[in-house]
Amino acid sequence: MEITGYLLQQFINGLQLGAVYALIALGYTMVYGVLRLINFAHGDIFMLGAFIAYYLISKFAIPIYLVFIITMFCTAGVGYIIEKVAYKPLRGAPKISLLITAVGVSLFLEYFLSLNAIFTANYIGFPRPFEVVNYDLSLFTVTNIQILIFATTGVSLVLLYLLIYRTKQGKAMRAVSYDQEVAALMGINIDRTISFTFMVGAALAGVGGILYGIAYPQINVFMGVMPGIKSFIAAVLGGIGIIHGAVIGGFIIGISEVFVSAFLSSTFRDGVIFVILFLVLLLKPSGIFGKRIEKV
């Protein structure tokens, strides 16, 4: 009984981390879908989301639901600017040039924001917007933070689903990711669709940043690097370009990370994620849900 409870508790903790990874992974997978680009700067947008929320909560004492909305708009704006300034001039350039630019954008954001005049490179305590309450469910406990994370992730996923499968804009996104040239022939504005995809992805990463800040209340300008890479791995695991694949992948990565830290050692948790990546790339590069055999 004891061990089942412990396992369930770790499972819940894994879901909590996985939910954040899923939110970030969605941005990677959507951008990869429309642009065939690993947007390395995505993890830094996630970091920016946490920092914006930090300032909104600690300096302006804004209610939590408004924090979510404002942060989403801000990160979406940043995503839009990054796409317009850095990636758009490179349409049609070699794939690797685009990738190098993405690495450059990511490093620039990290080191620019870590200057002493801006956020500094120190760890900052993230203010809890509410008291933590534990709900004891006999076998395991759930905190109100976890409930907030699951609820927010759930709502975001439903909204995203409606956006992609029930609106015209979503149809355009799917068309562009299917075949860019043919989509252009059908009268879809490619540039606008790509910008829109970046904005949606960045807004989701912003939400992920707030949730991460609330759940693990220590923020730092480099906090986005590892979650960013892990979320990308989650997207690859689920099948890059596939929306529900990214979500499932995020949960798998989150749960495995928590279980490895709980049963082996927390020093190995990053290593295990990369072992997963190597296994996926070697055994089924198209991911769990990928149908098309990609020429990788």
Partner 1 sequence: MNFFIESRKILLLALLVYGALKVLFVFGLLSQYIEQITLFSFIMIIASLGLNVIYGYTGQFSLGHAAFYGIGAYTSAYLTKVFEIEGVIPFLPALLLSGLLTGCAGYVIGIPILKLRDDFLAIATLGFGTLFRVLLDNSDKFAEALGGSRGFVGIPRITNLELTLSVTVFLILITRNLIFSRYGLFWRSIKADELASVSIGIDTAKMKLMAFSYGCFLAGIGGGLYAHLYTFLHPSNFDILKSIDFLIIVIIGGMGSITGTIYAGLIWVGFIEGLRIVLPAEMLDLRWVIIPLLLILLMMWKPYGLITKRSR
- Point out which residues bind partner 1 (CB under 8 A): 36-38, 86, 89-90, 93-101, 103-108, 111-112, 114-116, 229, 232-233, 236, 267, 270-271, 274, 277-278, 281-282, 285, 295-296
Q: Which is nearer to partner 1, 170 or 254 (CB)?
A: 254
Residues 6+ apart with CB under 8 A from 256: 14, 272, 273, 276
Single-letter amino acid, residue 266: S
Q: CB of residue 235 vs partner 1: minimum separation in angstroms?
A: 10
Q: CB of residue 58 vs partner 1: minimum separation in angstroms?
A: 24
Q: CB of residue 231 vs partner 1: minimum separation in angstroms?
A: 12
Q: Which is nearer to partner 1, 198 or 232 (CB)?
A: 232
Distance from C-alpha of 212 to C-alpha of 46, rounded to nearest angstrom: 9
Q: CB of residue 97 vs partner 1: minimum separation in angstroms?
A: 4
Residue matched to tokens 């760890």: 123
Q: CB of residue 251 vs partner 1: minimum separation in angstroms?
A: 20
Residue 217 token pair? 């209340």
Torsion sign across C-alpha atoms 33, 197, 41, 72: negative
Buried b or exposed e, range 9-35, using 16+ CB within 10 angstroms: bbebbbbbbbbbbbbbbbbbbbbbbbb
Q: CB of residue 268 vs partner 1: minimum separation in angstroms?
A: 8
Distance from C-alpha of 164 to C-alpha of 259, rounded to nearest angstrom: 33
Q: Which is nearer to partner 1, 128 or 284 (CB)?
A: 284
Distance from C-alpha of 26 to C-alpha of 21, rounded to nearest angstrom: 9
Q: Which is nearer to partner 1, 236 or 246 (CB)?
A: 236
Q: Which is nearer to partner 1, 38 or 188 (CB)?
A: 38
Q: Which is nearer to partner 1, 38 or 148 (CB)?
A: 38
